[in-house]
Amino acid sequence: MNGLPSIIFAIVTNVTLTDATSSSFSSPYPGEVSLRSQISTGDLNWLQGDTLANFAQITLSSGSFSAYNLKDSVDVTVDGCYS
């Protein structure tokens, strides 16, 4: 997610995952892909076909964050951002 003012350092939001093609985990992290290799745990864990939501506090880098997904694909919705 990009486009938030760079003065915002974190957001509190709801993250919803749905339509997972396999069991996996996801974890939001600050900025772009540079931290991807350091992720080993998930904030959301699911089984294939699950739909689930989680309240999250996400640290930003230059007004953006990315969401890591271990494998295959899943639809992610982030809504209700508060800084």
pLDDT digits (tens, 9 = 90+) for 3-21: 667 777 888 888 899 999 9
Q: Are 23 and 73 in contact (CB under 8 A)?
A: no
**What's the whole-number mean pLDDT along residues 47-62?**
87
Which is higher by pLDDT, 36 or 71?
Answer: 71
Can you tell me the distance from the alpha carbon of 74 to that of 19, in angstroms, rounded to the nearest whole number? 6
Can you tell me the distance from the alpha carbon of 33 to that of 1, in angstroms, rounded to the nearest whole number? 12
Checking if the pLDDT of 44 tops 60, the result is yes
Which is higher by pLDDT, 76 or 38?
Answer: 76
Structure confidence at residue 66 (pLDDT):
82
Q: Which residue has the tokens 């996801």?
A: 26
Checking if the pLDDT of 23 tops 90, the result is yes
Q: Are 27 and 41 in contact (CB under 8 A)?
A: yes
Q: Are 34 and 65 in contact (CB under 8 A)?
A: no
Structure tokens at 6: 């760079």
